[in-house]
C-alpha cells in the first residue's frame, strides 16, 4: 500500500487539527447526520483518552465520534478522491455527510476510502468518523467485553500497556489520477559492487510503466520499462545499519504520450538472511542492540508526534542502540521512514499481543481455559490476525530498515493449538514476503522443553524476567537460570538467539547499596548480569531491553504510575542504567557487542 504523497500527478491535503468529539452515549441516534452536538473538541493526531478530565470518556466502551468539515480543492475535477487514515484505533466507520462510505477494523494499519462518487471538486462536506476502542476476539489485539455488576460494559485485555484509542495518526484527503499506480514492491540484492532492485508495479487502468532510479545526488543510475523488472546499479552504495543510503525510485505510468501518474519512493539496497546461528545484514553478522519501545507520551497517548520521534531517535543513538522493536503493534509509517533515513534497524511487530491465557494464570502459567479455543483465540481471531499481517506487510515491505517480522508477542506457544493457529500465518507471511526472517517473542513459561512451534520460525526471541518476576532481588540465582535457559535454546535449535525483553521497574531517584528492587542500581546491575551471560554465548544475536521509556498501563496492583522498566522516564530523562548502556553499546568498556559476534 503506497503512502499518500504529493507528486506531479497527485495532491495531498492534511486534515489534522482539532475535530468535534463526543462519545456515543451522549449523542442521539445516527449522530453523523448533523453537526455533533458536543462542547468537546479533540486533537488529531492523538489518542483521545488523556485529553479530557472525564473518566467516563477515558475508559469508554463503545463508539466515539470525531467530526470536521472538509473542503475538496476545486482543481480535482475528474480525479479520484480518497481519504487516508494512517490509523483509527481499533475500528472505524466513516461517514461523508449522511452516508456511510467505508469501514475498517485494525487499529495500527492505514486504510483508504474512495469517496470520488460521493463528493465534488470545489465543494465542502461533513466528515464524521466513528472510532471504536473495543477489543474483542475479532480484533488484534484481542480482549473481552463483559457486563459487570454495576450494569456497565467493562473492557479487559491481556497486555499491560494502556488501551489508548482514537485517531492517533494523521488523516489525509488526496487525489489520484483515474489511471494510476496502485502498488510498488521492491526487493534488493547485490554481488560485490553491483547492486540491483527487482521491482513490480501494479496499475489501475491501461498504462505503460517506466521506472528510473536516482542516487542521493539526483543522478539517474538505472532505468527500465515494464511493470516488472530489474534495475542494475554499478558501483552500488549499500544501505547499512548506522550508514543509511537511499536511492529514489520514480515510477511513471504513461499512455498516449502522457504521464498519467508518477510516484517516488526511497529504496535502500541491502540483504537480510539467517544462516545457522547468525543474523546477516548485507552478508555480515549483525548484533542487535536497543530497545523494545512503545508509542507513548503524556497527554497524546499513542498520538504520533514528530518532536518525540526525533528526540527518541536521538536518545537511542546517544545510548549506542542500533535497533528497536515496534512492540507491540506497527508504529506510524513516519517512524519507519525516519529509521530508513538514519540507518536504524527495525524489528516490525504486529499487534498480536495477549494471545496467552497463561498470563492470566499468573506465574504458574496455567491457563484458566485454553488460549487457542473458540472461547478466546479461535478461527475469527486467526482471520483478523491474517488480515492484520496482510496490511502490515503491504504497508512496510519496502522499508530497508525493517529486517524481520515479529508476528506475535508472547503467544502461548507452549499450549495445545499454538502450532495449528500459527502455521497458516507463518505460511501467509512467507508468501507475502519471502525475503525477511520471522520470529515471535517468547513468554517466560514457553521454554525450550515445551514450546511447540519454534521450528516454523527463523530466530529465537526470548522475553525473560529472571531477577524481576522470578528471583526478584536475587541476581545470583537469576544468572544461573538465565544461563541454563539460553543454553537449552542453543541445544534445541541452533538458530540465532536474541533477548527481546529483559529489565526491571525502576523509580528514578531511588537508591540503595543493597540489591533492592525498584532502585536505579538494581536496574543497572540486572542489565549488567544479563550482558555478562549473553557475552558467554558466541551464538547470541542481539539484546533489546524492556523498555526504552516508562509507559502508561492499565490500572493494576503491580504498576505504580505505569510500567517503570524504562531506561528513560516517560518524559525521557535518563536513569542510571542509560549511562551504563551507553558505555557498553558505544564500546567504551572495551567490548562492543556488534564487533564480536
Rounded to a whole number of angstroms, the minimum distance from the CB of residue 121 to ligand BDP is 47
Question: What is the spatial distance between Cα 582 and Cα 316, in angstroms, rounded to a whole number?
Answer: 9
Residue among 366 and 435 whose Cβ is closer to ligand BDP = 366
Peptide bond into 142 cis (omega under 30): no
Question: What is the spatial distance between Cα 550 and Cα 527, in angstroms, rounded to a whole number?
Answer: 16
Pairing of strands 288-292, 284-285: unpaired
Name the active-site residue from 410, 415, 479, 543. Answer: 410
The alpha carbon torsion through 116, 119, 120, 121 (nearest 10 deg) reads -80
Rounded to a whole number of angstroms, the minimum distance from the CB of residue 328 to ligand BDP is 6
Grid coordinates belonging to 350: 504486529
Q: Please give the residue whose beta carbon sits closest to ligand BDP in the complex.
A: 160
Grid coordinates belonging to 328: 507491540
Question: What is the spatial distance between Cα 166 and Cα 143, in angstroms, rounded to a whole number?
Answer: 17
Residue 79 interacts with ligand BDP (CB under 6 A)? no
Residue among 410 and 451 whose Cβ is closer to ligand BDP = 410
Rounded to a whole number of angstroms, the minimum distance from the CB of residue 414 to ligand BDP is 14
Rounded to a whole number of angstroms, the minimum distance from the CB of residue 349 to ligand BDP is 10
Instruction: Build a one-symbol-per-residue string for 413-452: x at contacts with ligand BDP by CB under 6 A, - elsewhere.
Output: ----------------------------------------
What residues form DSSP beta bridges with 196? Answer: 189, 232
Grid coordinates belonging to 259: 504521464
Residue 163 interacts with ligand BDP (CB under 6 A)? no
Spatial CB neighbours of 191, under 8 Å, sequence gap ≥ 6: none
Residue among 398 and 463 whose Cβ is closer to ligand BDP = 463
Residue among 207 and 404 whose Cβ is closer to ligand BDP = 404
Rounded to a whole number of angstroms, the minimum distance from the CB of residue 160 to ligand BDP is 4
* Radius of gyration in angstroms for the set of CA atoms belonging to the chain, rounded to a whole number: 24
Residue 565 interacts with ligand BDP (CB under 6 A)? yes
Spatial CB neighbours of 570, under 8 Å, sequence gap ≥ 6: 296, 297, 298, 549, 550, 551, 552, 562
The residue within the footprint of ligand BDP, chosen from 139, 210, 409, 576 (CB under 6 A), is 409
Rounded to a whole number of angstroms, the minimum distance from the CB of residue 454 to ligand BDP is 17
Residue 549 interacts with ligand BDP (CB under 6 A)? no
Spatial CB neighbours of 125, under 8 Å, sequence gap ≥ 6: 69, 70, 72, 96, 97, 118, 119
Residue 159 interacts with ligand BDP (CB under 6 A)? yes
User: If we measure between CA atoms, which residue out of 155, 31, 25, 40 comes closest to residue 90?
Assistant: 155
By CB under 6 A, how many residues form the interface with ligand BDP?
A: 10
Grid coordinates belonging to 519: 532502585
Rounded to a whole number of angstroms, the minimum distance from the CB of residue 307 to ligand BDP is 25
Residue 525 interacts with ligand BDP (CB under 6 A)? no
Residue among 10 and 564 whose Cβ is closer to ligand BDP = 564
The alpha carbon torsion through 526, 530, 536, 538 (nearest 10 deg) reads -150
Spatial CB neighbours of 555, under 8 Å, sequence gap ≥ 6: none
Spatial CB neighbours of 360, under 8 Å, sequence gap ≥ 6: 158, 367, 368
Residue among 501 and 543 whose Cβ is closer to ligand BDP = 501
Pairing of strands 143-147, 41-44: unpaired
The residue within the footprint of ligand BDP, chosen from 79, 410, 415, 485 (CB under 6 A), is 410
DSSP, collapsed to helix, strand or coil, labels residue 37 as coil
The residue within the footprint of ligand BDP, chosen from 50, 79, 134, 160 (CB under 6 A), is 160
Residue among 20 and 159 whose Cβ is closer to ligand BDP = 159
Query: Residue 54, CB half-sphere, CA atoms under 13 Å: how many?
Result: 9
DSSP H or E stretch at residue 144 = strand 143-147
Rounded to a whole number of angstroms, the minimum distance from the CB of residue 118 to ligand BDP is 41
The residue within the footprint of ligand BDP, chosen from 136, 137, 381, 463 (CB under 6 A), is 463
Residue 563 interacts with ligand BDP (CB under 6 A)? yes
For residues 406 and 16, the answer to whether their CB atoms sit within 8 Å is: no
The overall longest dimension of the chain from CA atoms, in Å, is: 78
For residue 385, CA distances in Å to 346, 351, 392, 398, 440 come to: 21, 8, 10, 21, 14
Per the annotation, the verdict on 410 as an active-site residue is yes
For 337-347, give one letter per residue: b (16+ CB within 10 A) or e: bbbbbbbbbbb
Question: What is the spatial distance between Cα 98 and Cα 312, in angstroms, rounded to a whole number?
Answer: 42
Per the annotation, the verdict on 333 as an active-site residue is no
- In 10 A of CB 8, how many CB atoms? 10
Instruction: Build a one-symbol-per-residue string for 290-329: x at contacts with ligand BDP by CB under 6 A, - elsewhere.
Output: --------------------------------------x-
Name the active-site residue from 415, 501, 520, 543. Answer: 501
Grid coordinates belonging to 7: 507528486
Question: What is the spatial distance between Cα 220 and Cα 426, in angstroms, rounded to a whole number?
Answer: 38
Residue 501 interacts with ligand BDP (CB under 6 A)? yes
Residue among 75 and 556 whose Cβ is closer to ligand BDP = 556
Rounded to a whole number of angstroms, the minimum distance from the CB of residue 145 to ligand BDP is 21
Instruction: Build a one-symbol-per-residue string for 328-347: x at contacts with ligand BDP by CB under 6 A, - elsewhere.
Output: x-------------------
Rounded to a whole number of angstroms, the minimum distance from the CB of residue 89 to ligand BDP is 17
Residue among 160 and 305 whose Cβ is closer to ligand BDP = 160
Residue among 282 and 554 whose Cβ is closer to ligand BDP = 554
Residue among 65 and 468 whose Cβ is closer to ligand BDP = 468
Alpha carbon 194 to its chain's center:
32
- What residues line the site for ligand BDP (CB under 6 A)? 159-160, 328, 409-410, 463, 501, 546, 563, 565
Active site residues: 410, 501
Amino acid at each position: 500500500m503506497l503512502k499518500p504523497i504529493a507528486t506531479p500527478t497527485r495532491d495531498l491535503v492534511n486534515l489534522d487539527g482539532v475535530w468535534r468529539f463526543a462519545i456515543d452515549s451522549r449523542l442521539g441516534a445516527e449522530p453523523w447526520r448533523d453537526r455533533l452536538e458536543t462542547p468537546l473538541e479533540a486533537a488529531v493526531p492523538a489518542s483521545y483518552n488523556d485529553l479530557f478530565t472525564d473518566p467516563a470518556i477515558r475508559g469508554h466502551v463503545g463508539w466515539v465520534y470525531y467530526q470536521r468539515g472538509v473542503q475538496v480543492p476545486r482543481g480535482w475535477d475528474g480525479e479520484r478522491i480518497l481519504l487516508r487514515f494512517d490509523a483509527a484505533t481499533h475500528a472505524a466507520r466513516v461517514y461523508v455527510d449522511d452516508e456511510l462510505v467505508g469501514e475498517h477494523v485494525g487499529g495500527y494499519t492505514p486504510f483508504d476510502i474512495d469517496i470520488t462518487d460521493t463528493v465534488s471538486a470545489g465543494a465542502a462536506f461533513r466528515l464524521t468518523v466513528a472510532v471504536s476502542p473495543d477489543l474483542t476476539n475479532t480484533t488484534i489485539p484481542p480482549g473481552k467485553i463483559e457486563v459487570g455488576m454495576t450494569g456497565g460494559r467493562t473492557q479487559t485485555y491481556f497486555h499491560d500497556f494502556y488501551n489508548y484509542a482514537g485517531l492517533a495518526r494523521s488523516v489525509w484527503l488526496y487525489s489520484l489520477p483515474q489511471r494510476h499506480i496502485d502498488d510498488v514492491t521492491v526487493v534488493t540484492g547485490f554481488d560485490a559492487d553491483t547492486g540491483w532492485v527487482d521491482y513490480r508495479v501494479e496499475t489501475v487502468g491501461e498504462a505503460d510503466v517506466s521506472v528510473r532510479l536516482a542516487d542521493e545526488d539526483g543522478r539517474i543510475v538505472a532505468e527500465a520499462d515494464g511493470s516488472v523488472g530489474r534495475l542494475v546499479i554499478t558501483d552500488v552504495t549499500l544501505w547499512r545499519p548506522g550508514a543509511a543510503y537511499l536511492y529514489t525510485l520514480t515510477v511513471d505510468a504513461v499512455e498516449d504520450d502522457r504521464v498519467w501518474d508518477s510516484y517516488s519512493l526511497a529504496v535502500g539496497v541491502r540483504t537480510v538472511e539467517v544462516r545457522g546461528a547468525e543474523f546477516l545484514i548485507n552478508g555480515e553478522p549483525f548484533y542487535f542492540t536497543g530497545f523494545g519501545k512503545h508509542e507513548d507520551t503524556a497527554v497524546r497517548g499513542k498520538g504520533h508526534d514528530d518532536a518525540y520521534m526525533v528526540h527518541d531517535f536521538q536518545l537511542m543513538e546517544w545510548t549506542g542502540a542500533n535497533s528497536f522493536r515496534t512492540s507491540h503493534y506497527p508504529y506510524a509509517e513516519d517512524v519507519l521512514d525516519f529509521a530508513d533515513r538514519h540507518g536504524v534497524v527495525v524489528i516490525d511487530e504486529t499487534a498480536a499481543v495477549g494471545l496467552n491465557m497463561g498470563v492470566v494464570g499468573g506465574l504458574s502459567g496455567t491457563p484458566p481455559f485454553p488460549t487457542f479455543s473458540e472461547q478466546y483465540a479461535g478461527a475469527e481471531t486467526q482471520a483478523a490476525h491474517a488480515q492484520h499481517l496482510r496490511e502490515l506487510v503491504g504497508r512496510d515491505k519496502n522499508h530497508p530498515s525493517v529486517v524481520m517480522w515479529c508476528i506475535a508477542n508472547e503467544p502461548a506457544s507452549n499450549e495445545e493449538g499454538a502450532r495449528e493457529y500459527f502455521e497458516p500465518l507463518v505460511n501467509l507471511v512467507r508468501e507475502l514476503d519471502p525475503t525477511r526472517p520471522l520470529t515471535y517473542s517468547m513468554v517466560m513459561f514457553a521454554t525450550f522443553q515445551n514450546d511447540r512451534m519454534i521450528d516454523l520460525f527463523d530466530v529465537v526471541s526470548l522475553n525473560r524476567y529472571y531477577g524481576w518476576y522470578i528471583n526478584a532481588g536475587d541476581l545470583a540465582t537469576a544468572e544461573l537460570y538465565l544461563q541454563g535457559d539460553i543454553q537449552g535454546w542453543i541445544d534445541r535449535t541452533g538458530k540465532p538467539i536474541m533477548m527481546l525483553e529483559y529489565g526491571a521497574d525502576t523509580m528514578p531517584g531511588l537508591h540503595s547499596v543493597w540489591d533492592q528492587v525498584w532502585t536505579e542500581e538494581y536496574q543497572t546491575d540486572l542489565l549488567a548480569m544479563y550482558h555478562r551471560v549473553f557475552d558467554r554465548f558466541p551464538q547470541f544475536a542481539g539484546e533489546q531491553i524492556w523498555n526504552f521509556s516508562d509507559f502508561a498501563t492499565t490500572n493494576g496492583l503491580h504498576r505504580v504510575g505505569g510500567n517503570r522498566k524504562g531506561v528513560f522516564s516517560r518524559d525521557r530523562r535518563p536513569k542510571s542504567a542509560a549511562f551504563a548502556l551507553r558505555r557498553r553499546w558505544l564500546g567504551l568498556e572495551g567490548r562492543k557487542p556488534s564487533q564480536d559476534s
